[in-house]
A and B are shown apart, each in its own frame.
Chain A
Amino acid sequence: MTTLFVIIGYLCLLLALGLFSNRLFRGTSKDYFVASHSIGPFLLLMSVFGTTMTAFALVGSTGKSFERGIGTYGLMASISGLVHAAIFFLIGIRLWAFGKKHGFITQIQFFRARFESDSIGYLLFPILVLLVIPYLLIGIIGAGKTIEPVTAGAFPALFTNPTAPQWLGGVPPWLTGLVVSLVVLSYVFMGGSRGAAFANTFQTIVFMIMGLVAFTFIINALGGINNAGNVPARINEKGLIVQDYRFDKKEGILKENSPPKPIGRVVESESSNLTNKQPHFWREPVVAEFKKKNPKTDELVPFERELGIPFITFVTYLFIPLSVGMFPHLFQHWLTARSAKSFRLTVIAHPLCIMIVWVPCVLVGAWASGVLPPGIPPPAVLSAMLNLLVGDPILIGLLTAGVLAAIMSSLDSQFLCLGTIFTNDIVIHRSGPNKYSDKQIIFIARSFIVVIVGLTYGLAMLAKDANVFDLAIWCFSGFSALFPVIFAALYWKRTTKEGAIASIIAALVTWLYYFHKSGYGGEYMVGPGIVPAAICFAVSAIILVLVSLVTKPPSKETLNKFFPNKSEL
């Protein structure tokens, strides 16, 4: 119950911050959508970083590391440090300059002007909404999965139908999702992008600090930093996967299992020497068989899991972080910058912030393989580790608030961006810029945000068992497939509207094909382990080049507008 009070206290603090940012709101639509281009370097870094790190970063990375080991960091975090920073430098600053000069508020406005095409906006709008919605679902599902285990036992008479029997009385995912949606809605509704920037900064600081605090407490519980390295599951001389330790919750200490407890066995591996290896500490693929309890029959059911990461998967995963170049919510954050110089801190510090958040999470996920049952759902690993190893309810409350902070600092920007693109690219674009007053424009945006929040909440309840990491990867893959369009629009004069439209359609068709093949959101690899995003990207890029070369180039006027004769541009 104490844990729950701490979480409620955090949410109230966030609402108070929303009220404060509302007092700074200047009442104009430009302030509501892009904070009147007034955000400085630190707020820009925190809001961009907070937006890119969602449930995926804390809950997803820990769960994926529990499944596949430390390769998760190279797979997603270190390559993101390189690719994200390059995109902020090569694309973010340039789009900010065009946005500020020509008054663009959304990506679609930029594309319509660059490609002299009205229809490209109507094609892109549903695609962007289609891809942002799964991203929103990740946040709401992740929040529900985080809160239920840590509040288990709080209301045993009230919440009698838990997701897992041991979580009886925990706050159910439907209620967590509802509260989180309403809290985010309240401060986005009131303060717009300025409110989101303030809330993001506060929440990013909270989740970075809380992540490090959780890491410190987990290390102590595992017997100190030097012993933590011995904890992950190990392969013995018979090819069995064993846990050498268990955590005695009553005594609050780590105890050695004598003999080690077998939890699975190696089924397949190309490596000849596996004895005493800890498969979560390397990246060589090892197929293992574990057992998990069927919640309905209590029977132990075997299941296979590939530990480690195939090399071809590791290489092709680099296409996933290209998605930030096409995130509409990130585009909106870029446009809030006061000047191009505001980007400097983000370019340098973003890879470091990723490291500060991801390294502890990946280590905790690998360590969890030695003390948690292998059948635990990956998204529940972080909260299960906190529950097992950190006994203090106040601390668990603070750490859970940190996870919620990471989730909500992404939800706010995504809700706001959908309201922004609907208002600007559909309503105002159809009616003309002078039909609605500034107040009416803000009202339309707020109304659409309310509708999107309601729709997202409903969908999250239907998809509540989705794997947060895999769903995120599908969302990122779609945006990555659209990356050639934004890159070519900025750097290749010969790109035509026909080329861009053909590329968008090719990206969509390829993405839908693989999404269908995956069973609508599961983990899916092509051939020897190629990530579908790589193929979607390649198809989109090839189509863009071929169609552009055989169609009429853009007008001179457009080229002069977007490729002015300046030495640096």
Chain B
Amino acid sequence: MKRKFIWILFLLLFLLHQDFWENADLILGFMPVGLAYHAAFSIACACLGGLAIKYAWPNDLEEFAEEER
């Protein structure tokens, strides 16, 4: 269930990336709206990575790699 939730978040972020465009306004006088949105998107990606590590970490891979051949 938690893994499915992570996948749903991933797909949601994927869709949010296509942020359809003509707005050239500036935030705080220097940061274009489109760039600010995508910078926030980068932070959201880092948060998703944290959630994936917490709830979908492949624990058995470590054990599998350390097993004798």
Which residues of A line the B interface, CB within 8 A? 70-71, 73-74, 77-79, 81-82, 85-86, 89, 93-94, 96-98, 100-103, 225-226, 228-229, 271, 277-279, 281-284, 311, 314-315, 318, 339-341, 344, 347-352, 354-355, 359, 362-363, 366, 564, 566-569
Contacts and interface: CB of A to CB of B under 8 A. Distances in A.
A85 B59 CA distance: 18
B26 A101 contact: no
18 contacts: A73-B39, A81-B46, A82-B10, A82-B41, A85-B45, A89-B52, A97-B64, A101-B67, A102-B69, A226-B28, A281-B26, A283-B22, A340-B65, A348-B50, A350-B46, A351-B42, A352-B42, A567-B60
A341 B34 contact: no
A93 B58 CA distance: 9
Given A225-B30, A277-B24, 18 more contacts: A73-B39, A74-B34, A81-B46, A82-B13, A85-B45, A89-B49, A102-B69, A228-B30, A281-B34, A282-B21, A284-B22, A314-B18, A315-B18, A318-B17, A351-B49, A567-B60, A568-B60, A569-B61
B53 interface: yes
Contact of A82 (B17, B26, B53): B17
A281 B19 contact: no
Contacts of B17: 74, 78-79, 82, 318
Nearest to A273: B22
A221 to B, nearest CB: 14
A97 B61 contact: yes
A348 B52 CA distance: 9
A340 B58 contact: yes
B57 to A, nearest CB: 8
Contacts of B60: 566-569
B30 to A, nearest CB: 4
Contacts of A567: 60
A433 B41 CA distance: 48
Contacts of A314: 18
Nearest to B42: A355
Nearest to A285: B21
B35 A73 contact: yes
A103 B68 CA distance: 11
B43 interface: yes
A57 to B, nearest CB: 14
Contacts of B20: 311
A86 B17 CA distance: 15
Given A282-B23, A340-B61, A352-B46, A347 B34 contact: no
B64 A82 contact: no
Given A71-B34, A74-B17, A348 B53 contact: yes
A341 B29 contact: no
A82 B14 CA distance: 8
Contact of A78 (B23, B41, B49, B61): B41
Contact of A363 (B14, B35, B38): B35
A73 B38 contact: yes
Contacts of A73: 34-35, 38-39
Contacts of A339: 62
B32 A70 contact: yes
A451 to B, nearest CB: 34
Contacts of A96: 65
A349 B46 CA distance: 6
A318 B23 CA distance: 22
A81 B13 CA distance: 11
Nearest to B13: A82
A81 B48 CA distance: 11
A195 B43 CA distance: 31
A229 B30 contact: yes
A389 to B, nearest CB: 16
Contact of A94 (B18, B21, B61, B66): B61
A339 B48 CA distance: 21
Contacts of B35: 70, 73, 359, 362-363
A36 to B, nearest CB: 14
A85 B39 contact: no
Given A282-B22, A354-B42, A567-B60, A85 B49 contact: yes
Contacts of B66: 100-101
Contacts of A86: 10
A535 B52 CA distance: 30
